[in-house]
Amino acid sequence: MSGVALDPKTSPVFPMAAKAALGDTQMRKNVRHATNVIQTKRGRVVGEMPDWQQLREAGKQIRQHTMEHLDFYLEQFEENCTRVGGVVHWARDAEEAKRIVTGLVKASGSDEVIKIKSMTTEEIHLNDALEAAGIHAYETDLAELIIQLGQDQPSHIVVPALHKNRQQIREIFQRKMNLPELGESPQDLADAARMFLREKFLRVKTGVSGANFLIAETGGVCIVESEGNGRMCLTLPETLITIAGIDKVLPRFQDLEVVLQLLPRSATGERMNPYNSIWTGVKEGDGPRAFHVVLMDNARTEILADKEGRQTLNCIRCGACQNVCPVYRQTGGQAYGSVYAGPIGAILTPQLQEMHHAQSLPYASSLCGACYEVCPVKINIPEVLIHLRNKVVKQNTAGIVGLFDVEAGAMKAMAMIFKSERRFRAAQRLGRMAETPLVRKDGRGVGWIGWLPGMLGGWTQVRDLQEMPKETFRDWWEKRRTNGN
């Protein structure tokens, strides 16, 4: 547990962080249990949809079309949002977005805000910026409240406190809410959170939200949630500030018909979210009197310009890829050093950092493809992972430094060998000769190698290698043909 924000610029590389996380058996048990429950629920509600694959394809087409015409739909959103009374602000990066939001809160006369769960605000560390400006932010989503009170960091896109069990949450609430007699049933914990937050809902005059979707056709904003806290934050404050990445836009209101079926089934295993809020501008006597939308780029334009990496922006933040990932299920989310963890984080975070940081994340995958199979908008995450690995290698081996990179040199040598049958056969003969002193026979006469020198030692750290066969398939086949068989 740490009060330090997850920052790809300062976080340790993934292998180092993952090794530490693997020692936390309680966290691993909590993550395994939670992801198993969500996967089971998802499987049930997806299985009852005979047109699920067609829905996935429709979702992919909508998101792909949006990204191809993103400039048009963003301007359309701005025009329609402004027409109904909203004020649209444009932020080039995280610093500009934080300055805009802080200025708007101060202009509203508030020194407190109530917040709906928002990964975009987590991405830019908005709470820290508000705190530095003398503005206190209250998280109202139950999981985010647990994270905030526990001075912890999120570990999942949809279920940020997934790594905490009921007893750990009870201990946080007892300590932070001064409730020594608090029980540990779900009802007890929910009641405590409800009483803690209700006073904030009624008192604080400014709300901050993210957005699941921005609707270009109407200038509306859509939020889906399960607890009702979002509805309170959207309707009770006098000023509402929405901050959203430019990738959140949808062309038409009708597109919600597709994404609002895909998102809840993939995210929480529900047929639909209990609360679906769509608000468009301001209306006298109903809801906030001032409404601002901050459209943030923060490197998304650079991602859009990358033909192969662009599909990353199609993500609708369901977290389904995290729940099935064999790497995430072992390490949890905080090992990724970013608020975006798991497979989608492994491709999104390095690109948001313009490949300057988080370069180890594209390697945090077995490339098993499970993430692609469950993605509701068919993002080919393994394909993007390989694309980003290629970028990392090119960056790290460019110029004179690359001439001294041992791994890069070895890969180039392997490429030369694989290009020529003659060189490949020679390498096989050389390999058999080189391994001879390292081979140990077992009781059945099978040869095994338990140790390899230097960089090759990684292969034998946790497993033995079987010795190379004395005869390759190609040799056997040629001998068979020579003998007339």
Please give, one letter per residue, the 3-state secondary structure of 2-24: CCCCCCCCCCCCHHHHHHHHCCC
Read off the tokens for 268: 């929480």
Question: Measuring CA to CA, which residue among 172, 250, 219 is closest to residue 1?
Answer: 172
Q: What is the pLDDT of residue 1?
A: 43
Q: 322: which 2 tokens?
A: 């995290």
Give dist(CA 5, CA 7) in Å, integer: 6
Q: Which of 41, 66, 436 is nearest to 268 (CA)?
A: 41
pTM over cut 0.95: no
Phi and psi at residue 47, to the nearest 5°: -65, -25
pLDDT of the residue at 3: 58
| Residues with Cβ within 8 Å of residue 310, at least 6 apart in sequence | 67, 303, 304
Rounded Cα distance between 342 and 46, Å, is: 21
Is 226 within 8 Å of 136 (Cβ atoms)?
no
The H-or-E segment that residue 425 falls in is helix 421-435
CB 102 within 8 A of CB 113: no
Do the Cβ atoms of 318 and 153 come closer than 8 Å? no
**Exposed, middle or buried, 275 (CB in 10 Å: 0-12/13-18/19+)?**
middle
Rounded-to-integer distance, Cα 393 and Cα 399, Å: 12
CA distance 88 to 79: 9
Chain center to CA of 154: 11
Strand partners, 96: none
pLDDT tens-digit profile, the chain (485 residues):
445 788 999 999 999 999 999 999 999 999 999 999 999 999 999 999 999 999 999 999 999 999 999 999 999 999 999 999 999 999 999 999 999 999 999 999 999 999 999 999 999 999 999 999 999 999 999 999 999 999 999 999 999 998 999 999 999 999 999 999 999 899 999 999 999 999 999 999 999 999 999 999 999 999 999 999 999 999 999 999 999 999 999 999 999 999 999 999 999 999 999 999 999 999 988 999 999 999 999 999 999 999 999 999 999 999 999 999 999 999 999 999 999 999 999 999 999 999 999 999 999 999 999 999 999 999 999 999 999 999 999 998 888 877 788 888 888 899 999 999 999 999 999 999 999 999 999 999 999 999 998 878 888 888 899 999 989 998 899 888 777 66
Q: What SS3 state is found at 70?
A: helix
The answer to whether 336 and 365 are in contact (CB under 8 A) is no
